[in-house]
Structure 1
Amino acid sequence: MSVAAPRPVPYDPELEPGLAFFLDLVERIPLRAETILANREHFATIIQPIDEQVGDLPVEWEHRLIPGPAGAPDVEITIVRPARVPGASEHADAPLAPGVLGIHGGGYVLGTRFFGTGELIDLALRYGTVGVAVEYRLAPEHPAPAQVEDCYAALEWFAANAAELGVDPERIIVSGASAGGGLAAAVALVARDRSGPRLAGQLLNCPMIDDRNDTVSSYQYDGIGAWDRNNNDTGWNAMLGPDRGTDRVSPHAAPARATDLGGLPPAYIEVGSAEVFRDESVDYALRIWAAGGQAELHVWSGAYHGFSGFSPDAIVSRAAVAARDSWLRRVLSA
């Protein structure tokens, strides 16, 4: 006898127009193995170039090519920082800026680093941060661990070149949403396990961290929402292939697989109550606390995947942004 899927949590009515706008924007090309390339082509048409994102804002950027992981190609990055005043001298005793390694989302199969540079521009304006956006390799052409290794190579470069960039190496955080949040969590695990750069924090926005896709919330959002259970299957299958769902999956690919979450940098975890990633995000925070770590968890009522970006004026979105800003102020000023 078949078992009915659990009833989904209803959306906050104030968020529904933003969700409808997002679904129209992406044109609802179902994300399946055979449509990954079509989805990439469509996403390329809706991601603004960085010069358009910046416009007249007092922010500057530069593109660089940095060493990639051992035996792998170099990695493209974009550095985003507050604009420097022309003619101003650079004093050796000038205060060092916080740093943010920004990792874009896209289910491990879509997007470019410019999908996440909007956050780095905003942080540069409000907190004076120097951000690094990393162009990691995508699945299925590049299966795991290519994605996290590219991102970790960018972190190592960032920390090693902090002085040149005017960054305090003790105040670098890693940040990402969706698959970017999963990679941010994975980078934090890799840095701990390899005794690498010490991160000041990890901002995990609706993170994609569990390849098993077997939580209640994953079944509640099967065929509905901004990112559903089927999209999730596509992304994980592309990245992990036949290893998916087996004991061969590394925590550096799917952070929810980690059995030890001790010794990690403070985490900020946010997620909507009405989305696939709700339960795995809550469980990740619970296990960080159980290991004696620091985590701040926010589950926003009736919120869909990526709600604060597409419904910015909703009351719950403004609350989410304020809570995130509170954490950032505390971590970046520490």
Structure 2
Amino acid sequence: MTDPDALVDPDLRAALAVLPDLSVLSLETLNDVRAILAATRPSEEIAGVQVTRISIPGASDQPDIAALLYRPEGTAMRPAILNIHGGGMVAGTAERDDASMRTLAVALDAVILSIDYRLAPEAPYPAAMEDSMTSLEWLHQQASNLGIDVRRIALRGTSAGGGIATGLALLVRDRGGPEIALLSLVYPMLDDRTENHPVAGKYVWPIAANRFGWSSYLNGIVPVPIYAAPGRADHLAAMPPTFIAVGSIDLFIDENLRFAQALIAAGVPTELHVYPGAYHGFTLISGAGVARRFEQDSLAAFQRAFAAV
């Protein structure tokens, strides 16, 4: 059998010594894992973008949603991105994406709303989906105040956030909601049925952590809704143009490939990038060549989507 260690991209090997071991994820360790995943370094100030902490009114009896709002300088009408962070449905914060969102806002001259949705197991499905939908609706409601071109609003989700963003895109499609310019998915967590893999999933987010995340999020719901686990969806026609990025040794490689194939079969414009030797979370290793290639690919996909409108 192939040694998984031998498959790791050379630029990503050194980081393995400092990456968290999430195989220990459980109810007993959840608070510690949350603290680890919430830890951030102070972001460098980037000229040309204003960052504001805001609170979005929750719908009906739902709590308000904390968020970071990124607004480039100037008064031109701009595209916008709703960013949904990762963390296995049970952890993570918008703050952890702060540095990359500052950079992306300037590079695209785009407004970005990065949200802190409710986490499982305290708030299982559909809490995160409700918070994301409320946030998307808020972007549309505030478009004139924020200088947003409503024809150019995209969804971006990383890991668990990618699964939530995909479920949101399905829900918007089925409700006849507003058009989404691009669905940008970074190693998305799409399918609760994922099994162990002979070489993928050894690093960062292993099968044990994945099972804990899904069981916390789904909370025993039967049948599992496609909006919770979009990898279960049979009909993907009329989904927005989709960009998917995943590493070849990520636990999610198979489900991401299957989803991309299903999108293509449904006639959805689909861009898929598989990065050799990249494990889950590789985009955080900013000095690695593979992470830089991802940033270029992701940026180009947004630029094409926003220019097409």
Q: Is TM more than 0.5 here?
A: yes
Q: Which amino acid aligns with 1:220?
A: V
1:215-226 to structure 2, matched below 5 A, reads: 217=197, 220-221=199-200, 224-226=202-204
**Match in the other structure for 2:30:** 36
Whether contact under 8 Å (1:307, 1:317) holds in the other structure is yes
Write out per-residue CA displacement over residues 72-126 of structure 1, whole angstroms, 9 at most, x where no aligned residue.
Answer: 1122222111245xxxxx5xxxx31110101111001011121223332111111
What whole-Å deviation, never above 9, does each CA across 1:149-181 have from its counterpart, x for those lacking one?
101110011012111100100001010111111
Equivalent residue, structure 1, for 2:67: 77
Report deviation, 1:331: 1.0
**SS at 1:70's partner residue?**
coil
The answer on whether the counterparts of 1:182 and 1:207 sit within 8 Å (CA) in structure 2 is yes
Matched, 1:324 2:298: yes
Alignment partners' CA distance in 1, 2:272 and 2:17: 27
SS at match of 1:53: coil
Aligned partner letter, 2:31: L
Is 1:314 aligned to 2:292, yes or no?
no
Shift of 1:7: 6.2
Identify if the C-alpha distance between structure 1 residues 228 and 193 changes in structure 2 by more than 3 Å, giving closer, same or farther.
Answer: same
- Aligned positions, number: 307
- Structure 2 counterpart of 1:115, one-letter code: R
Gaps of 5+ in 1: 85-89
1:230 paired to 2:201: no
1:16 aligns with 2:13: yes
User: What are the ranges of 5 or more consecutive residues in structure 2 without an aligned counterpart?
Assistant: none
1:29 Cα deviation after fit: 7.3
Q: Which residue of 1 aligns with 2:139?
A: 158
User: Aligned partner of 1:197: which letter?
Assistant: P
Q: Report if the CA contact (8 A) 1:188-1:265 is conserved.
A: yes
- Output the CA distance in 2 between the equivalents of 1:188 and 1:249: 17
Cα pair 2:37 2:87 within 8 Å, conserved = no
Question: Rg bigger for which structure?
Answer: 1
**Residue 316 of structure 1: CA displacement?**
2.6
Structure 1 residues 75 and 12, CA gap change in structure 2 (3 angstroms): same
Match of 2:88 in 1: 107
Contact 2:168 2:227 in 1 (8 A): yes
Q: Assess if the C-alpha contact under 8 Å between 1:104 and 1:116 holds in 2.
A: yes
Tell me which amino acid in the other structure corresponds to 1:61: V
TM-score (norm 2): 0.93
Q: 1:118 is matched with which residue: 96, 99, 122?
A: 99
Q: Are the equivalent residues in 2 in contact too, given 1:100–1:120 (CA < 8 A)?
A: no
2:218 corresponds to which letter in structure 1? L
